[in-house]
Amino acid sequence: MTTRILLIGGHGKVALLAEPLLVEAGHHVTAVIRNPDHEADVQATGATPLVADVQSFDDEQMRNLVSGNDVVVWSAGAGGGDPERTYAVDRDAAIRSMDAAVAAGARRYVMVSYFGAGPDHGVPEDNPFFAYAEAKAAADEHLRAADLDATILAPSSLTEEDGTGMIDTEAAEAGSVARADVAGVIAAVMADDSTIGRTIRFNNGDAPIAEAVRA
């Protein structure tokens, strides 16, 4: 049976690399984008673009968006800069999407977070990254408490390098990882239920992705 995946943030750099992998694996991927000018880029991956501004969606609109899908992948982000928009997207809209997934029966949820996310993120309030760190900490905490089969992916600093298909999930400190390998991890966790209920932090490394994410 084909798995129907709703990928929110469908024109992001990681998402555009993940979409063809998910399509090739036999999934039906609906990629949510904000800008209709990006539809052709999404279509080129094999995914189906859907124009929607999740920041402005209320609970009912979010449930309608999620309805009919089996999996939600959150790969959206406000992109930093404006703290108000960061909280609105990375915290509030993300949390609404989780609640919508519960209500719509889309039990599988994959969150793309970052390596240092958490209440003890250590980012000072005067740092421009503070709002993002706070927003992701709140969203991840909500997801862990939700009645969902959730996986939180926590890659380290993202690079534009070619993917190697190899990561390290044992590192105590953040390093870097290619966006292409983050896309590979998204695809891998879809095929491995042992990743449910886990937060997977990773850098570039020496272990094949499918092996590295396996519990």
Q: What would the pLDDT profile of 135-171 be if each residue is shown by its tens digit?
A: 999 999 999 999 999 999 999 999 999 999 999 999 8
Residue 77 has pLDDT above 80, yes or no: yes
Write out the DSSP string of 175-190. Answer: -EEEHHHHHHHHHHHH
Residue 63 is encoded by which pair of tokens?
């449930």
Q: What is the crossing angle of helices 94-104 and 130-145, to 10°?
A: 20
The token pair at 169 is 């999930």
| 180: pLDDT strictly greater than 70 | yes
> Comparing 7 with 128, which gets the higher pLDDT?
7
- What is each CA distance from 110 to 38, 74, 196, in whole angstroms? 23, 6, 9
d(CA 15, CA 37) in angstroms, rounded, equals 16
Q: What is the mean pLDDT of the chain?
A: 96
Rounded-to-10 torsion of CA 200, 52, 94, 128: 90
pLDDT value of position 212? 98
Q: What is the band of 2 on the pLDDT scale with cuts at 50, 70, 90? A: confident
Q: Is the pLDDT of residue 1 over 70?
A: no
- Mean pLDDT value of segment 96-113: 98
State the pLDDT at residue 81. 75
% of the chain surpassing 70 pLDDT: 99
Residue 4: pLDDT over 70: yes
Instruction: Give the Cα separation of 90 and 79 in Å (integer).
Output: 9
| Residues making up the chain, counted from first to last | 215
Please say if the pLDDT value at position 114 is more than 70. yes
Strand partners, 140: none
CATH number 3.40.50.720 given to 4-213? yes
For the chain, the structural domain boundaries read 4-213
Q: Report how far residue 16's alpha carbon sits from residue 45's, in angstroms, rounded to the nearest whole number.
A: 7
